[in-house]
Structure 1
């Protein structure tokens, strides 16, 4: 027997007003201060205020805490760009620490339930944590304390978020609904901003492109930029939209389709082919895991979403930009594509470096962390075009085996769920996680913001199984919705 909708609404009766009051209030203060020209103050109060709000929500309102954290990941780079544009560029902005310090609160959950990591469904996290713990001191020796510590946040915190959600299974319904609504709203907000960015590049976005000199995302001019929305680069932006679209297709009601239209167009305008491949893989996984009636509804939802997006996709500037990028993925044009050539060259030259050091280079040897030890400029291994090679390069042979074996066990577990098979959100969550994982051949998808999405939806898969198993014991007639 399906629980009445009223019961679900009752579970959410506090979450929505609390989210509006605390999360909405936080963003109202931030945006109003920026609009009033008080950006110098915003630079210093943004992260402390985000942390204070996070503490209150973490202690009393777990679903609203998750809403707060997701929006910090979605919008913090945008706030940083506006502040830097109005108050002067800073290479290392304290604003960017906000989602990290708020995420640190979830360590409380790990400490609280540490002995329970030995449980069968949670044990795969153990070799992952061990691998990262081994790589951190190696990173401190090779890269230095500051780069290693900063990068440790990118590696550890997403994993901790997955553990936190898994152990929060008693609040599964509230966390699920809060996350679904946040990503639906995020798809609309970030999608619309990205389309606006393509046609009318904001001065703070153009300023940021000029300062960071990231030539791979085009020129700082309208219709000549690979859009990055409110994030710092097209990759994370495109993956957020891809995740949101999978959630859109698995959700019910009118809002998903309204959110899906700008998200589809913005995803295509990001020109991130890896995210396109990941979304397609996630969609196929969703279809494969559904029964015939749900498959028909999903296919209808896909077609309806595409139809609603057609008016925007038919705009000449959008159509030309997207078509050119799609053509570069096939035939001779794919082989002549400079990005393809650069990636092949990288594989040929980097594979020996990745596999030649048994203990690895340690955390802090790759990514943005290299800026800390290189006077604000990206280091030699700042960009690693393969997640599969970055893992052994950073973690070494033993660490890489432990880390990847833990990931493999978690993914394998998603195919062995018993109690939560009928829960549509679980199908979406597992499809999201696997759609991100297939992109590891292109770049490391398990760290930073993108990693947060992978590990959190793995956590949702575990939490759902525990939730429905407990429900079946207390009420045998209750089945997943």
Structure 2
């Protein structure tokens, strides 16, 4: 009964927030939007790129200090939108090899490092040991990276590794805001699935000029050809992998929404998810749905089945009609013919060549030591290791991987023991998303960057929800017995 009262008293947060819109916050966000439109329209890349990073950080810092709930949503949207803006300004002002503008979402999300360091001792006492272990492993890897590579490369790669852990620790540390975070996540990802899904379908059908220019400039053949109907969809994000992780997460959260936008969002979301051609995340989504279904109450299971049937009625016809049907069917059939699948063979080769070297690397190569200088291109390029296990041990070595992996494993164990998933579908979805992401580690570097934000972030928000309910239950329990004791003593005859 106490748990039900928690849900009933917090279900109106979304309506309350909508009634009291923070004008200053929206003015700050609006200023960033206007600056982006003006910068891209003018083609002033040399001014727009650093200006966008600085203004994004300023808006993020303002929201972090004044409107912390809106800050969370702003941080997510910074990840979703910035790569698209980068491609647009590249088309207008020329391709930027440094990709400096992509620092913006890292700068916005790493604002949380202030609160994490400030409240780390308290977080440790409240169950934040997994995050402390993760930070310890990254600190070691960064020190090794400073020895083996340039400080610039070490710092740049540290952003990829550190940002997800910092952001997730911030969510856990502020577990008292869990109901507001829950509503914010649901609202953000509803719109994110809808808008990025629509753009993903358009990207596949039309191949916008800025996307074609970016594909030609980067020479990334793995993302398809710069022509309509030949692109692997990555929507507004930087590549198909992170987009697929985002879409998997958003689609799982859609099972909880009651918004009328849920069905159209799911339709375009699943279609663009399939057009991303990221089979790893298709499998992770399936395991996540099974995990979610088996952990909730029968009443919620029935609701999940009904939602799945309605979504299936919308998605199946879309995914089987042309021009989508053939490409999706061919990709699905590759599951049964991995011997002829080039992607599967490449991953097998990666494990054959890299696993022994990774596991025998005691000290590690260090964070940032996965960049090489391409003399032909005259720029630093990243060495892609398409395996989270190999990448972790190559980068951190055993000395860094032990605390980092232990922290992630301990966090996963804690989340698997959460009982509150029985009545809070958001915690059930968050746990399923975290499990799905962890399952992708062997064949996908999912711990870093935007993908890592989902893995660490949703495990953290699930743990924050558990902490919130346990604290509320304990407080209500104490208040009940205090009231009972007062009634008994007041009725005692003098």
What TM-score, normalized by structure 1, do the two folds share?
0.93
Shift of 1:8: 5.3
Equivalent position of 2:486 in the other structure: none
Counterpart secondary structure, 1:385: coil
Equivalent position of 1:271 in the other structure: 277
Equivalent position of 1:346 in the other structure: 350
Rate the CA distance shift 1:372–1:108 in 2: closer, same or farther, 3 A: farther
Shift of 1:398: 2.3
In structure 2, distance between residues paired with 1:211 and 1:16: 41
In structure 2, distance between residues paired with 1:420 and 1:310: 30
Equivalent position of 2:153 in the other structure: 147
Shift of 1:250: 2.4
Q: Tell me, yes or no, if the aligned pair for 2:110 and 2:167 is still in contact at 8 Å.
A: no
Query: Are residues 1:59 and 2:61 paired?
Result: no
Q: Tell me, yes or no, if the aligned pair for 2:43 and 2:89 is still in contact at 8 Å.
A: no
Q: Tell me, yes or no, if the aligned pair for 1:147 and 1:372 is still in contact at 8 Å.
A: no
Shift of 1:58: 0.2
Q: Can you list the C-alpha shifts for 1:310-340, whole angstroms capped at 9, x where unaligned? A: 443233120000000110111xx22111111
Mapping of residues 86-97 of structure 1, within 5 Å: 86-97=92-103
CA root-mean-square deviation:
2.2
Equivalent position of 2:210 in the other structure: 204
Query: Are residues 1:71 and 2:97 paired?
Result: no
In structure 2, distance between residues paired with 1:434 and 1:254: 28
Shift of 1:355: 1.6
Gaps of at least 5 residues in structure 2 are 480-494
Counterpart secondary structure, 1:328: helix
In structure 1, distance between residues paired with 2:77 and 2:318: 26
Rate the CA distance shift 1:266–1:341 in 2: closer, same or farther, 3 A: same
Gaps of at least 5 residues in structure 1 are none
Mapping of residues 171-320 of structure 1, within 5 Å: 171-320=177-326
The number of residue pairs the alignment matches comes to 472
In structure 1, distance between residues paired with 2:319 and 2:340: 26
In structure 2, distance between residues paired with 1:9 and 1:475: 25
In structure 2, distance between residues paired with 1:471 and 1:120: 15
Among 363, 366, 372, which residue is 1:362 paired with? 366
Mapping of residues 439-454 of structure 1, within 5 Å: 439-454=440-455
What TM-score, normalized by structure 2, do the two folds share?
0.90
Shift of 1:15: 5.3
Higher mean C-alpha deviation, range 196-205 or range 165-174: 165-174
Higher mean C-alpha deviation, range 165-174 or range 468-477: 468-477
Shift of 1:375: 4.0
Shift of 1:38: 4.9
Among 101, 106, 127, which residue is 1:100 paired with? 106
Q: Tell me, yes or no, if the aligned pair for 1:12 and 1:174 is still in contact at 8 Å.
A: no
Rate the CA distance shift 1:298–1:357 in 2: closer, same or farther, 3 A: same
In structure 2, distance between residues paired with 1:282 and 1:212: 33
In structure 1, distance between residues paired with 2:17 and 2:185: 14
